[in-house]
């Protein structure tokens, strides 16, 4: 490969990029593995939340059928026999879920594969799922629900027949036994005397009656909350990272020419355009790193900007070391990921670069955050033009303008291009900072959309868990509902007791999720940043994501509590007092 590149370059051709594929690995495999790692983490979280959903659902079923369980025990049914009957039911539900999940999984995999293919800019002609995928899916769909349901089965089926047939034994909540309960007691809330908040206090106190069930519900909703907020944090961190990289260029437009031209002529022509306030030139060359064993790396972009006090290119986000200084000769700044990929290189050490077929030794004075798949090194313009016999020449121009809005920048950029064409300077490529920012953010939109989709699914799982919890609460407090109705509580009043209870749980999960989202998003930022850039992303906490999730969790809590609350409000006094 090196001989082919040398021969092509000696013939006058410039090789802009060369990649040597590793056997058995896809191009950009590191980035793909990073994305799959994030999705795998979210998938495991989804599976984890599903376990709690099964526990809540089975608990609700056992609560509803506790008298029937007591009758079966009274006529001689053993705990194992009753448990076996319920386990068969769980297996049946698992089988029916698989019949729905497998086709949906295949469809989702096709959609996801197509989305990732578009993200990496290639077409997907066929997709085949390995057989072990369906085996794993079947095992998870059948075995995991059974294992999860053992928890409520063991705790609920060990009671005696007398306890099971007692109408209210399983519905008792233990309240008032600890400091939290006493603080929530209306007798200790001084403001309860001045405001009509009895129904609100009832909802809050009922929330803490069964702390084990509350814990399970909060775990599901908190994980969903933390994941949703973390996805928005990742999106904000990606935007912050892109913005940090854009800030390297303190200009509005960058132009690249087909060859080198006199730098003073290029700048003079640009400054003659109305609206242009400042210009800077640089030179860019293809180079390769020569390793100690004489092998060579793929193509590396060598950017040589002018470095001075008012330079239009500023120091990038330096990870270690320093940025270029005026007067630096053989100094270079390299991406952090480059040092990770090339173990023989280190900060402060030497690096041999082949430029125009000749080897030159440089010293690594700093590292910066950059794309792992786009190796770039920076060196001083004056030194590079001297060793390449291009003194006073440039093949790239940065332009700063009076105004920075997109319409103004585009207009002046078109005028620049026309001016250069008239004077015989051919522009091979031009871009604006606004366009670079938009393209960089758009390149992450697919990834963010995938993560957000999985976060929404996790939130729905948490909502279903809350609905199951509220259903159990309604069943356990049926006679209490009758007492409320007997003393004059309206349908709306009864319903709002349970809706408020659901909202209280939702708000608690939002607060805890916001706290857990910080370490979760930091971990995901590190994983994604290492895969894409070789360094963690610039961390940013998304306040819009936090408040958006607050609105969503309130709405989700109301919807999850609505059906159980409506069922409770429809019960008459006679029905609830005669409830068994």
Residue 273 has pLDDT above 80, yes or no: yes
Residue 76 has pLDDT above 80, yes or no: yes
Mean pLDDT across the chain = 79
* Residues 6+ away with beta carbon under 8 Å from 259: 395, 426
Residues 6 or more apart from 508 whose CB is under 8 A from it?
A: 207, 218
What H or E segment, with its residue span, contains residue 383?
helix 381-387
Of 513 and 242, which is predicted with more confidence? 513
Q: What is the structure's pLDDT at 133?
A: 84
**How does residue 191 score in pLDDT terms, banded at 50, 70 and 90?**
very low
- Reported as a pLDDT band with limits 50, 70 and 90, residue 170 is very low
Task: Please determine, for residue 547, whether its predicted confidence score (pLDDT) is greater than 90.
Answer: yes
Return the SS3 of 377. Answer: strand
Which H or E run includes 379?
Answer: strand 376-379
Q: Choose from 46-55, 131-140, 438-447 the range with maximum mean pLDDT.
A: 131-140
Q: What is the 8-class DSSP label of residue 249?
A: B
| Relative orientation angle of helices 433-443 and 406-422, to the nearest 10 degrees | 120
Contact 427, 453 (CB under 8 A): no
User: In the numeric block, which tokens belong to residue 5?
Assistant: 């590149």
Give Cβ neighbours of residue 510 (< 8 Å, ≥ 6 apart).
Answer: 225, 549, 550, 553
Handedness of CA 523, 528, 530, 534 (dihedral sign): negative
Sole residue written with tokens 């440039």: 394
**How many other CB atoms are found less than 10 A from the CB of residue 531?**
21
Q: pLDDT confidence of 468, banded at 50, 70, 90?
A: confident
Task: Give the residue-averaged pLDDT of 95-112.
Answer: 86
The token pair that represents 266 in the structure block: 């290029």
The pTM assigned to this predicted structure is 0.71
Euclidean distance between CA atoms 243 and 538, whole angstroms: 10
CA-based end-to-end distance of the chain: 82
**Cα–Cα distance list, 304 to 175, 313, 333, 358 (Å):** 72, 10, 11, 17
pLDDT at 199: 59
| Residue with tokens 């002529």, as numbered in its chain | 265
């Amino acid at each position: 490969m090196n001989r082919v590149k040398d021969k092509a370059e000696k013939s006058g051709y410039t090789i802009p990029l060369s990649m040597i594929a590793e056997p058995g690995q896809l191009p950009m495999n590191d980035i793909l593995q990073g994305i799959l790692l994030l999705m795998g983490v979210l998938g495991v979280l989804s599976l984890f939340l599903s376990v709690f959903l099964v526990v809540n659902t089975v608990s609700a079923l056992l609560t509803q059928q506790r008298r029937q369980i007591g009758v079966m025990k009274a006529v001689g049914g053993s705990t194992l026999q009753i448990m076996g009957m319920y386990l068969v039911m769980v297996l049946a539900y698992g089988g029916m879920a698989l019949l729905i999940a497998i086709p949906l999984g295949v469809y989702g995999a096709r959609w996801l594969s197509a989305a990732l293919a578009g993200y990496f800019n290639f077409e997907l002609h066929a997709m085949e799922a390995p057989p072990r995928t369906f085996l794993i899916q079947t095992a998870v769909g059948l075995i995991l629900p059974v294992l999860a349901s053992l928890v409520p089965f063991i705790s609920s089926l060990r009671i005696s027949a007398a306890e099971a047939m007692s109408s209210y034994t399983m519905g008792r909540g233990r309240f008032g036994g600890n400091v939290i309960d006493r603080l929530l007691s209306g007798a200790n809330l001084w403001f309860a005397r001045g405001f009509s908040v009895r129904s609100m206090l009832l909802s809050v106190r009922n929330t803490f009656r069964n702390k084990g069930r509350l814990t399970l519900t909060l775990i599901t909703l908190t994980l969903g909350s933390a994941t949703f907020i973390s996805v928005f944090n990742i999106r904000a961190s990606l935007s912050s990272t892109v913005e940090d990289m854009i800030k390297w260029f303190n200009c509005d437009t960058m132009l690249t020419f087909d060859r080198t031209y006199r730098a003073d002529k290029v700048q003079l022509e640009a400054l003659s355009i109305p609206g242009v306030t400042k210009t800077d030139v640089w030179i860019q060359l293809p180079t390769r790193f020569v390793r100690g064993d004489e092998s060579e790396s793929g193509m590396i972009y060598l950017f040589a900007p002018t470095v001075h006090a008012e330079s239009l290119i500023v120091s990038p986000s330096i990870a270690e070391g320093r940025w270029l200084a005026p007067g630096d000769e053989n100094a270079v700044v390299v991406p952090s990921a480059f040092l990770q990929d090339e173990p023989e290189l280190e900060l402060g050490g030497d690096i041999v670069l082949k430029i125009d077929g000749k080897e030159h030794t440089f010293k690594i004075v700093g590292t910066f955050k950059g794309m792992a798949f786009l190796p770039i090194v920076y060196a001083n313009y004056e030194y590079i033009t001297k060793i390449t016999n291009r003194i006073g020449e440039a093949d790239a121009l940065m332009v700063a303008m009076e105004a920075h809005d997109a319409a103004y920048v585009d207009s002046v950029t078109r005028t620049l291009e026309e001016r250069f064409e008239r004077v015989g300077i051919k522009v091979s490529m031009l871009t604006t900072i606004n366009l670079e920012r938009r393209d960089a953010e758009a390149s992450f939109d697919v990834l963010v959309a995938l993560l957000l989709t999985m976060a929404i699914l996790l939130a729905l799982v948490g909502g279903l868990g809350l609905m199951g919890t509220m259903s159990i609460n309604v069943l356990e407090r049926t006679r209490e509902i009758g007492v409320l109705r007997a003393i004059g509580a309206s349908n709306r009043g009864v319903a709002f007791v349970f809706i408020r209870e659901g909202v209280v749980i939702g708000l608690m999960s939002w607060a805890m999720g916001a706290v857990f989202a910080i370490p979760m998003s930091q971990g995901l930022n590190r994983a994604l940043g290492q895969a894409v850039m070789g360094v963690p992303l610039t961390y940013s906490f998304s306040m819009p994501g936090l408040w958006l999730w607050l609105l969503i969790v309130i709405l989700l809590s109301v919807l999850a509590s609505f059906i159980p609350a409506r069922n409770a409000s429809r019960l008459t006094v006679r029905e609830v007092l005669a409830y068994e």
